């Protein structure tokens, strides 16, 4: 017959896999050498520096001279550290079925989300105020930062809700059917 709801035992494997993707996306966003801002190769920037010039070699200047850039870097790195801790704790929690730590993982993820949203909003606002020469496109590495943040938000909500379904996660719940023959 038909089963209602989510197949909760699959969450044991899917959620840590999603967190692994978020870790990879965050590392790509932080470590990208070019890609946060792109202006037709005449001017580009990442989280660490900006480079400009009509052709190579570009004249590159560090953004770490500005307090807002240091804050963005710190917030992104702290968010990544919290994400890695949450990933490790989620693996231990879901593989050993010690479900008491699920809300801790959700809380860590939600704190990391708040930090990274702040960083991802502060960067373009202050970058545009620093150099106002027209329209800038925020490209792939900046998008990876937002992708990791959105994945963390979804996983954080799920990790906060999963302790309510402990029996379903452990496989101890009775199967519910939409239609039963009587």
Answer for the pair 72, 123: CB distance below 8 angstroms, yes or no. yes
Report d(CA 141, CA 143) in Å as an integer: 5
pTM of this prediction? 0.83
What is the torsion angle, in degrees rounded to the nearest 10, for the CA atoms of residue 24, residue 25, residue 29 and residue 35?
A: 120
- What fold is seen in the domain 8-170? Butyryl-CoA Dehydrogenase, subunit A; domain 3 (1.20.140)
Cα pseudo-dihedral 95, 152, 130, 35, rounded to 10? 70
What band does 98 get if pLDDT is binned at 50, 70 and 90? confident
27-75 pLDDT, tens per residue? 999 988 767 777 666 777 778 888 777 666 777 888 888 898 899 999 9
């Amino acid at each position: 017959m038909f089963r209602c709801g989510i197949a909760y035992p699959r969450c044991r494997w899917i959620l840590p896999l999603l967190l692994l993707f978020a870790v990879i996306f965050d590392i790509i966003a932080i470590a990208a050498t070019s890609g946060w801002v792109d202006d037709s190769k005449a001017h580009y920037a990442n989280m660490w520096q900006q480079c400009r010039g009509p052709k190579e070699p570009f004249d590159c200047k560090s953004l770490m001279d500005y307090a807002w850039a240091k804050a963005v870097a710190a917030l992104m790195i702290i968010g990544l550290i919290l994400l890695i801790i949450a990933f490790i704790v989620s693996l231990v929690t879901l593989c050993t079925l010690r479900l008491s730590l699920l809300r801790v993982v959700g809380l860590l993820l939600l704190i990391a989300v708040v930090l990274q949203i702040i960083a991802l909003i502060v960067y373009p606002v202050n970058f545009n105020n620093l150099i106002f020469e027209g329209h800038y496109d925020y490209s792939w590495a900046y998008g990876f930062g937002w992708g990791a943040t959105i994945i963390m938000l979804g996983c954080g909500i799920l990790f906060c809700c999963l302790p309510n379904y402990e029996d379903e996660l452990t496989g101890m719940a009775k199967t519910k059917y939409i239609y039963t023959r009587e």
